[in-house]
Structure formats: C-alpha cells, structure tokens
Chain A
Amino acid sequence: MRFDSVIIGGGLAGLTAGISLQEEGRSTAIVSTGQNALHFFSGCFESLQEPPQRMQDLFAGAGVRLHYREGVRLMPLGTFRPAALALADIDLVPVPHFADKVLIVGFAGFQDFFPAFLADGLAREGMQCRTVQLELPELERLRLSPSEMRSVQIARTLDRIWGKVIREVKHLLREEDAVVLPQVFGLQDPSVPEYIRQGLPVRVVFTGTLPPSVPGIRTQLLLKRRYEALGGTYLAGDEVVTAHIHGDVVHGIATRNLDSHCLEAGHFLLASGSYFSKGLKSTPFDIAEPVFGLDVVHADDRNAWYDTDFFADQPYMQFGVKTDTALHPLRDGQPLTNLYAIGSVLGATRPEFGFGAGLAVRSAFAAVDQILESL
C-alpha cells in the first residue's frame, strides 16, 4: 500500500498533520495504537498563547469549537490557572471571582470530581458555595457496578438525558448566580455543553474530572471523523513492528495487523508521543525510540533522569528524539531526510514549539509545510 505520507501516531500531532495534508489533497494513513494524550487532555491548549488562525480553521472544520480569551480557569482541585486558548466548553474567566454564590453539582457515586476542593478554592476567592449531589435513576445501573461510575460512561448516559439535568439543576438553584458541573457532557454530541448553558439561567462552569477526559475524547473522535471524511486511512489498534530504511530514506513500515503488507510513502511523520504512548521506551540503562532506533537526547546517568521533587520539572520529560532544523530526526548522527518528528516524541528538545498541545500543533504544521513545499 502506498500513500503520499504515513503518520505514526493518532493523537493531536498526528491528526493535525493528517487533516492538514488531506485538506491539501494528499493521501495519508495514520497508524494508531489507540492510546494518546487526548485521553487526558485538560481542554486547554498548553503553550499556545495566541490562537493561530490556521488551527482555528482546522478545528472548526472538524466541528471542534475553540475560544480564545486571556484569563484564568478553574482547575479540578479548586485552584485557578492562567489560560488563553481552550475548547469552547472550558470556561475562561477574566478573574477568579466569577460569581457571588456558586452551586457545585456532583453526581452521587461519581468519585472523579472533587466538590470539597472546589468549594474551598471558590470560598478563598470570596464566593459562597453550596454543594449538592444529583441522584439520577438513569445512573443507577452504573452506580451498582463499582468500576463503571467514570466520566465517559456517565457522559454516554447524560448525552441522552441532558434535558433532565437542566430541570433538576434549575430546581436546586436558590440564589446562586453560577453552577459548577463536572465535564461529563457532550461525548458524542459536542453541542450538549452549550444546550446546558442555554438551559440554565445562571453562568455554567464545566470543571475537569480525573481522566479519561470527556472533552479530550470528544476532540479525538471529531478530529478522527474529519480525517476519515477527508479520505484519510486511520488504522486503529495497530502498531509499527519494523521500518525499512535505506541510507537516509525511510521506504516503508510494517505493522502488526497488516502482516506482510508494507506501508510505503514518500514522507513519514513520527507522532508517536513520549513514554506513556510508547514513543519513547526506557530501560534501566537507556532511553530509546523503538520504531526507527533514532538518536535520543538524554542523560546517560540514570540519577540525572529525575528530580526528587514530584512537582518539579522532571528531566526525563525533557528527553526526546534528536532532530535537525527541519525536524528530520537523526539516526547514528545522520538525518533521515523523509522522516519528521512531531509532538511530544520531541520532548523539550525544540523549545521554540512549546510543550504539550502547543508543541503537537506547531510542530505538525511545521512538518506539513515542508512536505507540501517539497512536492
């Protein structure tokens, strides 16, 4: 099978590249193991201080609405963090004091949302809080099973009965001028958070839960849907087993599911992520890139991989594949000229692209531009 470009990794970087190339009429395939960082996406695009129009357009095409406003957002443990670019259902407020009286609404039995911490954080900003737990009979089936009361399962149910949630919350409101709800709305239908906002007479602030992230998974679904609608080939649940390299050129890759069929292409993009997604693999003695055996910038001494402070910037998170200025990764010191490394497989080796979501999007655009120019 031959494509113009083959992308390894189906997360934010891989999908951004895939959609951009398909929009320009290139044929592409994405090989995805299934797990990626969108599953624990906070909904805010880290290290993107201004909204690139190109990104807004790409997301809008996929039905993912973004909004941009410099301000702060309420974090799940009740703290406030500066933020600028976010999914439309993530609230960005100019100052932490976004209301006088706040009703925090949880769902009985749902442990992954933290009303006690939220109430404390809001009270500290001078807001009066009241916490209630909604008991919806529709969630009873999930409640009976100890491990199913999780964000995605709840969202699947609430997507059907969001009207009832509006009625119940309205009923509970007294003098509050804002409601805080967990991000468990709009898994399939991205409009549900907006319906809830429209349906309630007060400000609604959707606040994060423990992963999996409903807004993140929704974003992944929409981007993937858009990619496939543009004719992209998304190979889910597959992984690369070998790469065929001649000199400084990658000719093809073989995957587990495609067996002997080789995926050939003029360009390859490595968007395989960092450790969590197995784009980087560590042993007690080394940190390696498993698909192409690329050079990885890292400390040799394992003592230097970690900061003993859990909350400090960790050195191991800085490590990533070594690239030249054109994002071609090096292998034994030599660049592979038709391969591009994008997203968090770069670690912090290319600080000009930012980190997290910002790194994924910027480096994907940078690689795509070169591919488009080269033909």
Chain B
Amino acid sequence: MNTKEFDVIIIGGGITGAGTQRDCAMRGLRTLLIERSDIATGATGRNHGLLHSGARYAVNDPESAAECIRENKILRQIAAQCIEPTDGLFITLPEDDPDYQKVFVEACRRAGIDAEVIDPALARRLEPSVNPALTGAVRVPDGSVDPFRLCAANMLDAKLHGGQVRLQTEVTGFIREGDTVRGVHTRNIRTGQEEDFYAPVTVNACGIWGQHIARLAGVEIGMFPSKGALLIFAHRINNMVINRCRKPSNADILVPGDTVCVIGTTSTRIPFEECDRVAVTPGEVDLLITEGAKLSPALFSTRILRAYAGVRPLVSADDDPSGRNISRGIVCLDHESRDGLRGFITITGGKLMTYRLMAEMATDTVCHKLGVDKSCSTAVTPLPGLEEPASEKGALICECENVTAGKVAHAIDHLEVSTLTDLRRRTRVGMGTCQGGLCACRAADRLAQANACAERERNDLADFMQERWKGNFPIGWGDMLREAEYTQWVYKHVLGL
C-alpha cells in the first residue's frame, strides 16, 4: 500500500506526534506521521523520565498540577509497561523555608494529589540515600517513565490501527491552495527522494522545531527555547524520586530509572539556532552535582555516565511577544481561527506526561474540522505491550547493557534501524559504562552487513562516537576520563577509524 492521501498528516515523531497519531487512528482516521530523524529524538528522549504527581506545580501552577495527577493516574492504567510506580519524596532541608511544606501540602490537596507528611526518620528508612539532614518530608505519587518505550508503544498502536510512519523524512514545504493547507512536500534524508502527501488537516507536533514548521506554512508562533541540562549516574542510588520542598529551582529532582538515576535540571533561555546542537557546560555540571548532592549526598561519590540536555518547547502567549508570561501548559493552536490558515493545527507546550491529553486536544480539533463525531478512548485503552525479542544464544554485543547479537539482529530486521543511534534507542547499545567503547564497532559491523554499505557505516560509527563524547567530556574526570582515554586511544591507534 503506497497511498499518498490521508485524513490527517502529523509532523513530528516525539511523544506528542506519536500520541496524536494513535488517537487519530483509533478514531478511524487514515493517518501519516512524518519525522525528519528518528522517534523520540527531541525533548521526548531528553528529560528526567519523571512521572510527575503534579506536586511540583501545585503551588505555582495549579492547572498544570491537576493535569499531571489526572494523567498520572491514567498512564498507570494504560502504560503500565513503561512506568515504575516508585513514589516520590519532597524533602525540606535545614536551609529551606520550614513554612513552605504546609503551603505545599495544602496546594497538593486542592489539586487532588495525595500528599502525606511523613516523619524524617521514616523518610530515611523508606529511602536510605536521602540527605539525612532533612527536617521534613512529604510523600507523593511520583514515578518514573521510560519515554522511548512510551513513544514506541504509541506509534506501534497507531500502526496497528492502520497508521503509516515515515522516519528520516523531512517536510520541505506545504502544498497550499489559497488559505488552505492541502498537504506537504517531503524529502527522504537518506535517499533524497522527494514525495508529496495530501490530507485535509496537518498537525504540527514538532516541539521546539514547531516554530520552523509553522513558518514553512506561513504562520508565526513565538517559541522560547529553554535548555535543561541533566546528568545520568552509573548506579541507581535512590528508589524513590527525591525532590526539594521549595519553589522549583535548578537541579532539585533526582529520578531513578532502570539501573541508573538522573539529576536535573537547569533552565536557560537559548537562541533558536542552538536547538539542534545543545551542549552541557562544565559550569552546569558542577551546579547539578552540587545541588543534587543536597538531595542525596551519595551523588558526590557516584560515577557520572553522561551529561545531556533537552530543549523545552515553551510558547509565549499571543499577546506577550516579550515572553514574560511563558506558560508550561499545553498550547493547541487552530491556525484557521488564529491566522486564517485552514487545515493546519499546532500542538505544543505541555510535558512528556501530559502527552495523551495534548493528543486528545489536537485530535478533537482535527475531528471537529473533518466533521468526525467520535470521542477519545485513549484514556481507557491500554497501550500494546512491546514485544521483547527472544534473546538468541550467542555473544553479547554490548556487555554493559546486556544486549545480545539476537536482540541487535531483531532490531535491525524489524524496528526500522538505519543508524547506530537508532539502534541505541531501541536496544540500549552504547548506553552503559563503556559508552560505546567496545559495543559500537561490533554493532556497526552488523549494520554494515545488513545494509551492505560499510562506507556509510564507518561514517555512522564516527558520528556515534562523536555523539557519545559530547555527553562525556563535560563530566570528564575520574573513571570517565580513564574510559575516554582508553576508547579514544583504541579508536585512533588500534582500530584506525
């Protein structure tokens, strides 16, 4: 089937786009999702992986807090395979305002969040890694979520409902008839092949890059890129999410996930041009460790695996070009009523964990435009489980993350892998302590065989090592530097890349 006509085209393969495609597909629409790179490459894959209870926003942004706790409860039902219900602590330290806890707990209750004040001694028992100096603790229903699995599960379900996906495909322009968007021009990044697709409605779900896409369509959205830096530690220090019980600030959330934990974040306004190449500075690293160690002193002595940063897609209100009143809430723009451009919607803002609600809002708008009267069922329909390939007997490709040759072969054959980075997102190859030192070239040889193109793969391997280094040098000391020295020597002098 190679149709070029759809009911709705969704641009952006992050969680918002994937969720919107699923919702549209479940309401019976013929959908096409277009992504210029790979799934979950933007802010979706570059955050804490925190399943907010909403408590963080309770005091300052009650609306977001209420959204969070509603979606928190829904995701526990529909996406249990992607979620770890760890619960979270909001701790008060001696230097924090002791009266804030009371304000915080009341705000949580107003928003519908279970917030239970517990004795500091009990908090230390529940979470032995917590700063023992704490003077107060509140327990809330935080958790952790695997954003990649969540995104992949949405996309899989959309496919099961007939949706089509084009990865590595860039939207180069819009097909317009007067004041109506009729479709998109696209180009395959790899092959250069150009193709047009048609639909009465197109949804812009590109996160921070939505500004660019909107401009291609001829409308302006004022986005304010905000960089958030995070550090991944090589061990899982904590079992519960640890937050500071104070006004939200830098580096005050420590989230456990799988075998690691993540501290973040910072918040820095960056120029739009930097969105494609955000990097973490040593200053940010120092700040994250110093502040993070106040949540859990063990961070000081734990090896850091990687530094990374994402860009929040914040949108300024239409009447606020200065960006002073930037909202972290969901923004769904119908460009017909806003700009007089028909057949085009932008869905942005929001958070990883409110993606389903964002998708619902976008899909409601799409259905309204198409005259489809079908209500949303994503809140009550569980996502499909992601099948785990049977692990073939045989050698490990990646020792750190226990990835077998069979798993790599499965990913290459069935999961639309064209680069090592795609493979990393699907199998965790290269994400462990060696940061690709050994496994990257093993996996690259597999890809070179599968794609019968060693030259391209050699470049891909170089890009992959460059990308790993980008997250390693900001934390380059101690064991990380030892590992880096080894890897750089081996690639240069032993392997001859």
User: Which A residues fall within an 8 A CB radius of B?
Assistant: 37, 40-42, 46, 75-81, 109-112, 114-117, 119-121, 143-144, 146-147, 149, 208, 210-211, 213, 274-276, 278, 281-284, 302-303, 305-306, 308-311, 314, 316-317, 356
B494 near A76: Cβ-Cβ < 8 Å: yes
Q: Chain B 470-497 against A: per-residue CB contact (8 Å), 1 yes, 0 no?
A: 1001001110011001101111111111
Residue pairs across A and B with Cβ atoms less than 8 A apart, 24 shown, are: A40-B489, A76-B494, A77-B495, A78-B458, A109-B394, A109-B395, A110-B395, A115-B445, A116-B454, A117-B457, A120-B455, A120-B458, A144-B393, A147-B395, A149-B395, A211-B494, A276-B485, A282-B476, A284-B289, A310-B462, A310-B466, A310-B468, A310-B469, A311-B491
B405 on the A face (CB < 8 A) = yes
Given known A40-B490, A278-B482, contact A210–B438 (CB-CB < 8 A): yes
If the complex has contacts A109-B394, A109-B395, are A116 and B449 also in contact, measured as CB distance less than 8 A? yes
Do B488 and A143 touch (CB < 8 A)? Answer: no
Instruction: Find out whether the CB atom of B481 lies under 8 angstroms from the CB atom of A316.
Output: yes
User: With A275-B485, A276-B482 given, is the CB distance from A283 to B493 under 8 Å?
Assistant: no
Chain A: minimal CB distance from B94 (Å): 25
From the candidates A116, A147, A278, A316, name the one contacting B445 in the complex (CB within 8 A).
Answer: A116
Q: How far is the CA of A159 from the CA of B182 in the complex (A)?
A: 69
Contact A284 B448 (CB under 8 A): no
Asked whether, in the complex, the Cβ of A308 is within 8 Å of the Cβ of B458, the reply is no
Closest residue of chain A to B469, judged by CB? A310
**Contact assessment for B496 and A77 in the assembled complex, using a CB-CB cutoff below 8 Å:** yes
Knowing that A109-B395, A114-B445, A306-B473 touch, tell me 14 more A-B residue pairs with CB under 8 angstroms: A37-B489, A40-B494, A81-B496, A109-B394, A114-B444, A143-B393, A144-B393, A210-B495, A275-B481, A281-B478, A303-B282, A306-B476, A308-B473, A310-B469
Residues on A with beta carbons closer than 8 Å to the beta carbon of B281: 303
Say which residue of B399, B465, B476 sits within 8 Å of A316 (CB atoms).
Answer: B476
CB-CB under 8 A from A306, the residues of chain B are 473, 476
B contacts with A: majority SS: helix
Q: Does B318 contact A (CB under 8 A)?
A: no
Q: By the criterion CB–CB under 8 Å, are B490 and A282 in contact?
A: no
B442 within 8 A of partner (CB): yes
* Contact assessment for B485 and A317 in the assembled complex, using a CB-CB cutoff below 8 Å: yes
Residue on A nearest B447 in the bound complex, by CB:
A116
B397 at the interface (CB under 8 A from A): yes
Residues from chain A with a CB closer than 8 A to the CB of B469 are 308, 310
Q: Would A111 and B395 count as touching, CB distance under 8 A?
A: yes
* B208 at the binding interface (Cβ < 8 Å): no
Q: Which residues of B contact A114 (CB under 8 A)?
A: 441, 444-445, 448
B404 in the interface, Cβ–Cβ < 8 Å?
A: yes
One digit per residue, 1 when the CB lies within 8 angstroms of any chain A CB and 0 when it does not, for chain B 426-449 equals 000000000000100110110011
Please give the distance in Å from B497's CB to the nearest CB on chain A.
Answer: 5
Q: Does A283 lie within 8 Å of B442, measured CB to CB? A: no
Give the residue of B279, B486, B495 whose beta carbon is less than 8 angstroms from that of A276. Answer: B486
Contact present for B441 and A77 (CB under 8 Å): yes
For B465, give its contact among A42, A282, A310 (CB under 8 Å): A310
Chain B residues lying within 8 Å of A46, measured Cβ to Cβ, are 493
Contact of B485 among A144, A284, A316 (CB under 8 A): A316
Interchain residue pairs A-B with the least CB separation, the first 6: A75-B496, A120-B454, A116-B448, A310-B469, A306-B473, A282-B477
Tell me, rounded to whole Å, the shortest Cβ–Cβ distance linking A288 to chain B: 11
B-chain residues with CB within 8 Å of residue A303 when the two chains form the complex: 281-282
Taking the nearest CB of chain B, how far is it from the CB of A256, in angstroms? Answer: 19
Residues of A close to B473: CB separation below 8 A: 305-306, 308
Q: Which residues of B contact A116 (CB under 8 A)?
A: 445, 448-449, 454, 457
Pick the residue among A144, A146, A309, A316 that contacts B404 (CB under 8 A).
A146
State how many angstroms separate the Cβ of B481 from the closest Cβ of chain A.
5
Residues of chain B within 8 A of A211, CB atoms compared: 438, 490, 494
In the complex, what distance in Å separates the CA atom of A78 from the CA atom of B404? 24
A40–B395 alpha-carbon span in the complex (Å): 21
A160 to B394, CA, bound (A): 23
State A149–B444 Cα separation when bound (angstroms).
18
For the complex, is B396 an interface residue (Cβ under 8 Å from A)?
Answer: yes
